[in-house]
Amino acid sequence: MERLKVLPGNPWDLGAVYIGSGVNFCVFSRNATAVYLELFKKSDDSASSCTIKLDPKINRTGDLWHVFIEGLKPGALYLFRVDGPFEPKNGHRFNKDIFLYDPRAKALTDGSLFKNLNFQKVCPLEKMPKCVVVDELAYDWEDDQPLKTPLNESIIYEMHLKGFTASPSSEVKFPGTYRGAIEKIPYLKKLGITAVELLPVQEFDAFENMNTNPKTGKRLVNYWGYSTTAFFAPKAAYSSDKSPGACVDEFKDMVKAFHKAGIEVILDIVFNHTAEGNEHGITFSFRGFDNSVYYQLVSTNKEYYVNFSGCGNALNCNHPVVQEYIIGCLRYWVRVMHVDGFRFDLASVLSRDENGFLTLEAPLTRRISEDPLLRDVKIIAEPWDCGGAYQVGSFPGGRWCEWNDKFRDGIRRFIRGDEKLSTEAATRISGSSDLYSSSGRRPYHSINYIASHDGFTMNDLVSYNYRHNEQNGEENRDGTDNNLSYNNGFEGPTLNPKIEKNRIRQIKNFFVALFLSQGTPMFVCGDEVQRSQNGNNNPYCQDNEISWFDWNDIKKHGDLLNFVKKLIELRRNHRVFMRDDFFKGQKTATQTSPADINWFNIEGFTPDWAKLDRFLAFRLGGGITESDSKSDNDFYIAFNTDSHDGTVTVPPPSDGKKWYRVLDTSIENEECILSEGNEELLINQEKYVILAGSAIVLISK
C-alpha cells in the first residue's frame, strides 16, 4: 500500500471504477459527516491495511463523496465506514464503527456475514466478505450481441442457477455453478426454450435464515435468494473459481455461452427490499450510508420501516436518488454483463410514491420503460406486493409484461374440472384481452404460467391436495393454502397405475393449455420431467434434493419430456400460436378461410357461454394473417375436463384440406404427440371421441 497515492477523485460514476492508473471511489451520502475508505490485503484480514478519511472540503461534491487511489489495481479489497448522527426517530442510523459494503460493489469475496454474527449482531471483520475492485472493460465478449428474441416468439424457462446442476445426478464438473449451467446448455437447447429466467443471482447471504429443519436438525438457508445484499455483484458462491472477483468473468462466460446457443438470460431482481431488515435488522450497506433516503420510513416515527415487501423494509424506490441507483444497476447488468431482461419481484413496490401510495404515474416504472439503454430488454413485473397492491392488467409504466396469475389460477381450475370455468379459460387462452387491450398492450405482455418457483410444481399440483412444508421449520404455517390442486385420489406418490396415468395426462393438459395459448409461456425447471418437491409449496429454505433438479428424471419420465419438446416445437413452427395482436373474430373470415378464431360447443355450434361447462373447443384460422406473418395451417383444439367421454363434432377445415391428429393426451405412448409431417389423417373428418380429462389438437393440411 506504500506505493499508493491519494488524490481528491471525481464525482462521476458511483462505486469503484478502475481507469488504468488507479481506482476512483464515489459513494452517496447526504447526511454523513465523515466517510472512511478501508483497504484490505486479504479477504480474511481482521484489520484494514490502510484507512483513508475523506475530507468533506476536498472529497465531497454535493452529496457525493469521492477519492482517487493512484496505483490501486483490480482485485483490491475494500469496505467503507460512515459517520453521522444516530437518531433513529429522525431516520438516521450512522455508526462509524460499522464496516459497510459499497452499494455499487461489482463483486464481494465469498463468505457470509449472517453466518458469523455475534450476540451483538456484528460480524468479525475477518469473517466479513469484502468488496472487490473489478475492471469492467477487461473481459473479451468476442462477437456477443443481444439476441432480442421477440416476446411473442419467446419461451421462458424459470430456473434456480445452483439447483439446476447441484445434484450429483447432474454429473457436471462444476455442480451448482455458472460453469455447471454452461455444461447443461445442450439439454436446454434441445428442449426448445428461448430464455432462462434465473432466480436471484445478485449477491445475497444464504445464512440470513435462522430456522432449523425439525426433521434433520440442520440449519436452513435462504436458498431462493430474495434478499439482496449487493445488487451489482453476481453471487460469488455460484462461481467455481472462488478467487476475489472471478465470479464476474464466470457469469459473463455463462451469458456468452447461452447467447451462442440462442438462449437469452433474464434476471429475477429484488428491488422491493434489502437484507438489512427492519428496525431490529443488521446494518451493512444502505442503512449505514443514508437510511433516511434509501428506505421508506413511517412518517410519524422514522425509527420504524414501512414493510410492503413482507421482509422488514421497503426501498424508497421513487426517491430520485434511489431511482438513479436502480436505473444505474439495470444499465450495468445490460451494458457490462449483457443480460437480456429482468423480472421484478413484488414490483408494485416500485410504483409506490415516497409516501407509500400507489400511483399510476410512477416515475420509476416509466423511466425503466423509456430508458434509452433499456429499450430493447424485456421488463417483467410481478404486479403485486405484500402491502395489498394488486396490479395485474394495470401495472403502470407502458410496455411492461406481467406475470399473469389470472391465467395460472383460471387454467388450474379449468383443467382440474371445476364448474363453469370454460369462459374464463377461453379468455386466458386467447390472450387475456380483458387485462391488456385497453392499455394498448398485446397478448405477449401476459406472461402465462401454470407453476413457478413459488408454489407447487406441476407434478405436485396433480399429486397433493395440501401443502407439506413441515421441514421448513415453521410448523407448516408458511406457504399458501390456495393451491387449486387435486391429488387424483391419493396424497403424494403412489404405485396405483390408474392414478399415475391420470396425473401424467393432467400435466400434459396443462402444457397444451400453456403452449397453445396466446401470450408468452413460462414454465419452471423440471416440470417437463415431473420434478416433485414432495408437496412443499414454499421451499425457499431447502438447498437440497427437495429443490434440486434430479437428472435421473430425464430417463424416468422421458415420455413427458418428449411430449414437451414436441409441443414447444409445434408452437415455434406455427404463427397462429404466437400472434402479435388480439383476435378480431368473425369479421376476419373470407370465402376461402375461416375467422382467426371460432369457438365451438361439443356439437360443433357457437357455444352458449352461460351453459358451456367442462368443455372448450376452438379453431384457429391459419389463412388470416397479421401484417408481418405468413399464412399457416388451421388448428382445432379441444379440452374435455369432464369425468365422461364426449363425441365432438369437428368444424370443417379450409377448402381442399383435411384434419390430421397432432396430439391426444389420452394416448399413453409416444403416439400421444406426433412430429411435424407424421400427423395421423382422421378417417372420420366430422367426429372425434375425446376421452374424459383429455385434450386434442388437430391440424388441417
Q: How far is the C-alpha of 223 from the C-alpha of 204, rounded, in Å? A: 10
Say yes or no to pLDDT of 200 above 60: yes
No. of helices (H) and no. of strands (E), the chain: 14, 29
Read out DSSP for 220-251?
A: P---S--SEEEEEEE-GGG-S--STTHHHHHH
Eight-state DSSP code of residue 563: H
CB atoms within 10 A of CB 413: 18
Q: How large is the average pLDDT for residues 80-94?
A: 98
Q: How far is the C-alpha of 579 from the C-alpha of 575, rounded, in Å? A: 6
* Predicted local distance difference test score (pLDDT) of residue 629: 64
* Predicted local distance difference test score (pLDDT) of residue 120: 87
Q: Report, in angstroms and rounded to the nearest whole number, the Rg of the chain calculated over CA atoms.
A: 27
* Predicted local distance difference test score (pLDDT) of residue 627: 57
- Where does the pLDDT of residue 665 fall: very low under 50, low under 70, confident under 90, or very high at 90 and above? very high
Q: Is 422 exposed, middle or buried, given 0-12, 13-18 or 19+ CB atoms closer than 10 A?
A: buried
* Predicted local distance difference test score (pLDDT) of residue 24: 98
**Is 44 a residue of the active site?**
no
Bridge partner residues of 65 (DSSP): 27, 60
Summarised one tens digit per residue, pLDDT across range 240-277 is 999 999 999 999 999 999 999 999 999 999 999 999 99
- Strands 264-269, 195-198: pairing is parallel
Q: Are 648 and 604 in contact (CB under 8 A)?
A: yes
* Cell 397444451, residue located: 512
Q: How far is the C-alpha of 207 from the C-alpha of 209, rounded, in Å? A: 5
**Dihedral pair phi/psi, residue 232, rounded to 5°:** -90, -5
Nearest to 597 by CA among 377, 365, 427: 427
Which cell is 425 given?
A: 379459460
- Helix 422-429, helix 405-416: angle, nearest 10: 140
Name, in order, each residue with C-beta under 8 angstroms of 667's C-beta and a sequence gap of 6 or more: none
Residues of the chain with pLDDT > 70, as a percent, come to: 99
Query: Helix/strand/coil (H, E, C) string of 365-418?
Result: HHHHHHCHHHCCCEEEECCECCCCCECCCCCCCCCCEEECHHHHHHHHHHHHCC
**Is 500 a residue of the active site?**
no
* Predicted local distance difference test score (pLDDT) of residue 295: 98
Round the average pLDDT of the chain to a whole number and report it.
Answer: 96
- Where does the pLDDT of residue 226 fall: very low under 50, low under 70, confident under 90, or very high at 90 and above? very high
Q: Are 404 and 446 in contact (CB under 8 A)?
A: yes
Q: How far apart are the first and last CA of the chain?
A: 76
Collapsed DSSP state (helix, strand, coil) of residue 592: coil
From the candidates 249, 268, 382, 424, give the one annotated as an active-site residue: 382
From the candidates 208, 268, 345, 528, give the one annotated as an active-site residue: 345
**pTM over the 0.95 mark:** yes
Q: How large is the average pLDDT for residues 306-334?
A: 97
Q: Are 24 and 17 in contact (CB under 8 A)?
A: yes
* Predicted local distance difference test score (pLDDT) of residue 475: 95
Name, in order, each residue with C-beta under 8 angstroms of 243's C-beta and a sequence gap of 6 or more: none
Collapsed DSSP state (helix, strand, coil) of residue 322: helix
- Strands 92-93, 86-87: pairing is antiparallel
Q: How far is the C-alpha of 242 from the C-alpha of 247, rounded, in Å? A: 7
C-alpha distances (whole Å) from 424 to each of 178, 275, 411, 483, 617 are 41, 39, 8, 18, 13
Summarised one tens digit per residue, pLDDT across range 107-158 is 999 999 999 999 888 999 999 999 999 999 999 999 999 999 999 999 999 9
* Range name among 153-167, 169-183, 626-640, 678-692 with the lowest pLDDT average: 626-640
Summarised one tens digit per residue, pLDDT across range 156-184 is 999 999 999 999 999 999 999 999 999 99
Q: How far is the C-alpha of 317 from the C-alpha of 326, rounded, in Å? A: 8
Summarised one tens digit per residue, pLDDT across range 297-319 is 999 999 999 999 999 999 999 99
Name, in order, each residue with C-beta under 8 angstroms of 48's C-beta and a sequence gap of 6 or more: 38, 39, 40, 79
Q: How large is the average pLDDT for residues 97-115?
A: 97
